[in-house]
Amino acid sequence: MNGILPLWKPRGMTSHDCVMKIRRLYKTRKVGHTGTLDPEVEGVLPICIGQATKIVPFLTDTKKTYIAEVKLGQTTETEDSYGGIVEAVNVDVFPEIGEIDACLQSFLGVTKQIPPMYSAVKVNGKKLYEYARANEEVVRPVRNIEVHSIERIAQNENDHTIRFQVTCSKGTYIRTLCVDIGKQLGYPAHMSFLERIRTGNFTKQEAITFDQIEQASNDLERAAWLKPLLTGVDHLSALEVSEQVKHKVQYGQKLSRPDELPETNPFLMMHQGELLAIYQIHEKNEREIKPVRVFQFDKK
């Protein structure tokens, strides 16, 4: 039981709830998720099992794709439809399609974003939602996010909503993006719908539901849904090593820096299609590379 399960997280469950349930269904405690989804949101949540738990930080750092909906005319405490209304105005003139498209395109690239108060971002060791629940004011950090693509899917003048698809970097709050889109269109706004349809290489089309897992007849059937570790880290460049170096890598040894390094740092150490480890340039000695993660193998 080593691999990545492309789980379709249902509404009403936290990401931690999903981990606990997978531990029971797959009969192992070595389980970790790769990026929190709010309880009210459903979508692709890759779950790492066994040796795959070692790549959680690297899979968390991949691009995410969402289907989202912004509703004009109201802002809420939580920036989504579950919070109390803070401000409400009439949407007398719904934006034209050209204005909507131009607005969405203006968010392409690297921009700055202030995370919502009802979020798990920490300030001075305390989560923002803890400050919010205690009615305490705190200066929220400004963070850089990157929107790789964003496009309108539909709009509805009757309920003042705009649905769009966005691919963005880790740490992007779609709730806040919806609020910012509304501001640019001249209205208070909040996020009225969200679904994550892709994380890294894992898509909605291949995602597995809890119903499917629970209906599986045996462990072999459940194991067949697990994707190889390489599927979760192939956004990193790779260095092909010889049989001799392979054994050194498997024992987690530091190595001399090769003449030609892969494009990314960290990078994968591969031998004939086999993922051995993840290495990086040694931070204290640039003439060496050292292991970040080493995967367990038969070293004979």
Q: Is the pLDDT of residue 300 over 80?
A: no
Per-residue model confidence as pLDDT tens digits over 148-179: 999 999 999 999 999 999 999 988 999 999 99
Per-residue model confidence as pLDDT tens digits over 7-27: 999 999 999 999 999 999 999
pLDDT at 298: 55
Domain CATH for 104: 3.30.2350.10
The answer to whether the beta carbons of residues 34 and 26 sit under 8 Å apart is: no
CA distance 192 to 156: 13
Among the candidates 209, 231, 253, a domain finishes at: 231
Q: Let me know whether 174 and 277 are in one domain.
A: no
Q: Let me know whether 184 and 273 are in one domain.
A: no
Q: Let me know whether 20 and 125 are in one domain.
A: no
The answer to whether the beta carbons of residues 47 and 18 sit under 8 Å apart is: yes
pLDDT at 215: 94
Q: Let me know whether 76 and 169 are in one domain.
A: yes
Domain CATH for 270: 2.30.130.10
Q: Let me know whether 16 and 36 are in one domain.
A: yes
Q: Is 112 a member of any domain?
A: yes
Closest CA to 56 of 125, 19, 4: 4
Per-residue model confidence as pLDDT tens digits over 109-143: 999 999 888 888 888 888 888 898 898 888 998 99
Reported as type and span, the H/E element at residue 166 is: strand 161-168
Among the candidates 144, 175, 198, a domain finishes at: 198
- Over residues 231-238, mean pLDDT: 92
Strand partners, 43: 9, 196
CA distance 116 to 198: 23
Per-residue model confidence as pLDDT tens digits over 32-71: 998 788 899 999 999 999 999 999 988 888 899 999 999 9
Q: Let me know whether 142 and 51 are in one domain.
A: no
Using CB atoms within 10 Å of the CB of residue 296, give its burial: 0 to 12 exposed, 13 to 18 middle, 19+ buried. Answer: exposed
SS3 111: strand
pLDDT at 117: 86
Q: Which residues are catalytic?
A: 38
The answer to whether the beta carbons of residues 278 and 291 sit under 8 Å apart is: yes
Q: Let me know whether 221 and 102 are in one domain.
A: no
CA distance 197 to 195: 6
Percent of the chain at pLDDT exceeding 90: 81
Q: Let me know whether 142 and 173 are in one domain.
A: yes
Among the candidates 198, 218, 245, a domain finishes at: 198
Q: Is 117 a member of any domain?
A: yes
Q: How far is CA 218 from the centre of its chain?
A: 30
- Which residue range forms the structural domain that includes residue 8? 3-62+201-231
The pTM for the full model equals: 0.90
Number of structural domains in the chain? 3
Beta carbons within 10 angstroms of residue 62's beta carbon: 20
